[in-house]
Amino acid sequence: MASKVMEAASINNVLAEQLERLPASPGVYLMKDAGGSILYIGKAANLHSRVRS
């Protein structure tokens, strides 16, 4: 149980670091399912804000 909690915390840290590296500029993003198939293609005036929402 503790190892799963540690693994989840590690994943959250990685995601937080990736989020901080996203630019606050316009861009296009993809939403994918677990298998990697594209579900949605979107555009945003501020990628950083869009991903945080």
Residue 26: the pLDDT is 97
Residue 25: the pLDDT is 96
pLDDT per residue as tens digits for the range 2-53? 677 677 778 888 888 988 999 999 999 999 999 999 999 999 999 999 988 8
State the residue range of the domain holding 20. Answer: 2-52
In sequence order, which residues have a C-beta less than 8 Å from that of residue 52 and are 6 or more positions away?
Answer: 19
Contact 52, 27 (CB under 8 A): no
The total number of structural domains in the chain stands at: 1
Contact 47, 26 (CB under 8 A): yes
